């Protein structure tokens, strides 16, 4: 039990349903949907779409999603890939010919076709119970009436607002200024888009006036996106990957997401006696940082669109993990892995819902960087993601930009199972941090037996690029110890990600936790 003298939060307990996400309105809407007879999928989609209004710098209809879920009464976990593709005319050699070594973040070449709307419509039809009209009604209401800007959202808006260009400034600034805490943000254009989707389904978004509005915004900047690129967008059902860590199975979405990296990272960490270390000590941070370098090096070399990559099974191979673990020097930091791309992902939303029948949904949804590409459609204000910046321009790399390909994705939903039983949907936001965040969360629960909320609250460290980032929650002297063995320490301005989780106990009680680094909460029903 936590120390009740300390200003922390407790886990939330309920029996009929639970949602945990990064904004309270989205959590409340998800619970309301459950109360109307919807299932966990209905609730997760309703909350996720609303997050695009509550946290527009993080996500929106112009982005992508990945989903893990089980059906009521089943322990089989299913995966849905809702990530979009590069336009068919995309060519990496053309950009190399312009002297570019990476894809510019704020231009049309970084914009892949939005995949989330197709995925949401597919899931509402195949897995939901209420239908799109009921699911989208709350987001339509709040898009029209407005949402007061929450503190963390205001912080992020200020940091990312300079990305906004052209029509995006009209739609995402208020009187030309970044909104302040408590100021009401409205998006009537998106309300109309959602009304049309509710009435006519995914085709309302991927063809006709709404698609034309997005294509026009891209074409005006030299984009090569076509009506066929939008109309042909389709989500993909696939099978998840899993790896065991001390009696718990970590279930991840397969590539083009980076979930395999988290499994490899945990397989490396198995070779060290973390349980006898201080959970917030320098030894644990060092080993995790070194394992991250090795796992991310593998990610950078191999993970891509599954139709263009090989050797996925190597991420699950215990012999590979053992050889990598043997490279770690307990007394000295190794050099960093070569970066895949200069595009470092920072922004994501995550929502998890479990209903009374123990259907569990783990859903992550993003426009990549803060405000995506910064390009928005003129009439409706749909922000377009810059997920294409996740491609590399390196010739013959499996993740090289190419027409119709999906880029390597940083966003990964997670689930845990124990003895074959779905026990916890969870997610850790924070872009590139996510595999390390997944591994650290699982280690907190298993190696150190921390409580659910405590596992989320605990300070974080992340080797990112060339620096080891330490949150301010670590004890004095930790940075010095790590510097002495070769780490370049940085205290980041922004905390490392956010997390939510719901534990499904054997007695049926649901236990939810949500990260204080964000504005959100866990709510029970």
Give the pLDDT band of residue 337 (cuts 50, 70, 90). low
Q: How do 467-470 and 489-490 pair as beta strands?
A: parallel
Helix (H, G, I), strand (E, B) or coil at 27: helix
pTM of the model: 0.96
Phi-psi region of 13 (alpha: psi -120 to 50; beta: other; left: phi over 0): beta
Residues 429-469: pLDDT tens digits? 988 899 999 999 999 999 999 999 999 999 999 999 889 99
Give strand pairing partners of 514. 500
Helix (H), strand (E), coil (C) string for 85-130: CCCCCCEHHHHHHCCCCCCCCCCHHHCCCCCHHHHHHHHHHHCCCC
**Of all helices (H) and strands (E), which one includes residue 312?**
none
Contact 254, 241 (CB under 8 A): yes
CB atoms < 10 A from the CB of 209, how many? 12
Strand order in the sheet with 467-470: 461-464, 467-470, 489-490
Mean pLDDT computed over every residue of the chain: 95
Of the listed ranges 104-113, 346-355, 397-406, 449-458, the least confidently predicted one is 346-355
Tell whether the model's pLDDT for residue 342 goes beyond 50.
no
CATH, range 243-343+419-497: 1.10.246.130
Q: How many residues does the chain have?
A: 525
- DSSP string covering 210-263, please? HHHHHHHHHHTTT----HHHHHT---EEE--EEEEETTEEEEEPPTTBSHHHHH
CB atoms < 10 A from the CB of 331, how many? 8
Tokens of 515: 């990260």
Of the listed ranges 311-315, 396-400, 418-422, the least confidently predicted one is 311-315
Domain ranges of the chain: 22-237+348-390, 243-343+419-497
Distance CA 233, CA 119 (A): 10
Tokens of 355: 């209903």
Distance CA 196, CA 82 (A): 20
Residues 221-280: pLDDT tens digits? 999 999 999 999 999 999 999 999 999 999 999 999 999 999 999 999 999 999 999 999
Contact 164, 226 (CB under 8 A): no
What is the percent of the chain with per-residue pLDDT over 90, rounded to a whole number?
A: 93
Contact 42, 135 (CB under 8 A): yes
Phi-psi region of 344 (alpha: psi -120 to 50; beta: other; left: phi over 0): beta
Rg, Å, the chain Cα set: 21
Contact 112, 409 (CB under 8 A): no
């Amino acid at each position: 039990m936590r120390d009740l003298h300390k200003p922390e939060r407790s886990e939330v307990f309920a029996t009929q349903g639970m949602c945990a996400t990064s904004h309270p309105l989205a959590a409340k809407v998800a619970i309301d949907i459950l109360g109307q007879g919807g299932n966990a999928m209905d609730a997760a989609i309703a909350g996720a779409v609303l997050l695009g209004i509550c946290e527009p710098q993080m996500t929106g209809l112009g982005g992508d999603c990945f989903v893990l879920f089980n059906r009521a009464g089943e322990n089989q976990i299913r995966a849905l890939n809702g990530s979009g593709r590069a336009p068919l005319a995309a060519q990496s050699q053309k950009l190399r010919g312009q002297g570019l070594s990476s894809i510019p973040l704020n231009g049309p070449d970084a914009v892949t076709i939005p995949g989330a709307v197709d995925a949401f419509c597919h899931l509402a039809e195949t897995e939901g119970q209420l239908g799109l009209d009921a699911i989208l009604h709350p987001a339509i209401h709040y898009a029209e009436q407005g949402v007061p800007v929450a503190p963390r959202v205001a912080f992020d808006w200020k940091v990312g607002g300079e990305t906004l260009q052209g029509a995006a400034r009209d739609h995402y600034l208020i009187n030309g200024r970044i909104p302040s805490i408590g100021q009401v943000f409205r998006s009537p254009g998106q309300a109309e888009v959602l009304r049309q989707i509710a009435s006519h389904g995914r085709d309302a978004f991927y063809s006709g006036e709404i698609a034309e509005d997005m294509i026009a915004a891209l074409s005006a900047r030299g984009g090569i996106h076509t009506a066929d690129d939008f109309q042909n967008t389709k989500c993909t059902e696939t099978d998840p990957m899993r790896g065991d860590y001390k009696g718990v199975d970590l279930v991840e979405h397969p590539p083009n997401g980076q979930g395999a990296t988290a499994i490899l990272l945990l397989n490396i960490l198995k070779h060290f006696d973390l349980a006898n270390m201080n959970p917030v000590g320098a030894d644990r941070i060092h080993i995790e940082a070194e394992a991250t370098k090795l796992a991310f090096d593998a990610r950078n070399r191999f993970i891509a669109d599954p139709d263009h990559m090989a050797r996925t099974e190597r991420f699950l191979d215990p012999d590979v993990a053992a050889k990598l673990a043997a490279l770690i020097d307990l007394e000295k930091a190794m050099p960093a892995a070569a970066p895949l791309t200069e595009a470092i992902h920072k922004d994501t939303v995550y929502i998890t819902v479990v209903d009374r029948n123990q259907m569990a949904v783990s859903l992550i949804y993003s426009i990549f960087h803060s405000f995506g590409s910064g390009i928005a459609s003129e009439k409706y204000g749909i922000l377009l993601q810059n997920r294409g910046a996740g491609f590399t321009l390196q010739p013959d790399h499996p993740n090289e930009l190419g027409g119709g390909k999906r880029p390597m994705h940083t966003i990964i939903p997670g689930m845990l199972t124990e003895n074959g039983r779905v026990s916890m949907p969870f997610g850790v936001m924070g872009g590139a941090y996510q595999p390390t965040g997944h591994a650290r969360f699982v280690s907190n629960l298993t190696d150190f037996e921390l409580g659910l909320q405590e596992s989320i609250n605990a300070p974080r460290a992340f080797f990112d690029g060339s620096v080891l980032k330490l949150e301010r929650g670590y004890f004095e002297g930790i940075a010095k110890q790590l510097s002495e063995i070769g780490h370049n320490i940085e205290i980041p301005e922004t905390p490392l990600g956010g997390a939510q989780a719901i534990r499904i106990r054997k007695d049926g009680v649901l236990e939810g936790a949500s990260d204080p680094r964000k504005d959100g909460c866990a709510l029970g029903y």
